[in-house]
Structure 1
């Protein structure tokens, strides 16, 4: 029963995020929702994923992001095992947005 409740609560959170319309709204919401270390951790994993997608090697990623090799490996598994996962969806959409000039 607890797992269903946790999933339901996550879905409610995801729906809340989807309601955000601007970068500023997103900043405000995540500032309220997360601690500074949590936001730094999210940002670091995102940058690691970006660098892995751009074919950077682990040593360069460690140097640039400060991420541990364990974090880099975890992110790499997410990218490798599920090519249609969340990182790839976001990177594809960001690239399309950049190409369209928005």
Structure 2
């Protein structure tokens, strides 16, 4: 773990190099290998859980029903929902490209 100097608060890391590395990968197998090297099993599980609730949220499934279907905590579902509504747009863009559509015109 990095040691933090209280006199120099951390800056947001430049994600450019990571993005370039991800873009360099040619197929799902390469991406899987990279993610397995980059992330711990629990980090991968957390990311998969977050992504797994996106189609349900886009389809306006109630949080409790999403929890019952996926086992993901209602707190995590709420965080993902906030990102869908107020985030950078990445979840929604990926969901739309994969064919997940909102059930009403407000999304």
TM-score, normalised via structure 1 length: 0.80
Render the CA deviation track for 1:75-100: whole Å, top value 9, x for unaligned: 11111124x600111112222xxxxx
Partner residue in 2 for 1:73: 78
The CA distance in 2 between the partners of 1:62 and 1:92, in whole Å, is 22
User: How far did residue 50 of structure 1 move?
Assistant: 1.6
Greater C-alpha radius of gyration: 2
Residue 91 of structure 1, aligned match among 76, 91, 95:
95
TM-score, normalised via structure 2 length: 0.76
Residue 54 of structure 2, aligned match among 30, 44, 49:
49
Structure 1 segments of 4+ aligned residues over 6 angstroms from their partners: none
Partner residue in 2 for 1:62: 67
Partner residue in 2 for 1:7: 13
Q: Which has the higher contact order (CA 8 A, sep 6+)?
A: 2
Q: Report the secondary structure of 1:26's partner residue.
A: helix
Where in structure 1 are there 5+ consecutive unaligned residues?
96-102
Aligned length: 92
Partner residue in 2 for 1:98: none
The CA distance in 2 between the partners of 1:12 and 1:57, in whole Å, is 38
Q: Report the secondary structure of 2:98's partner residue.
A: helix
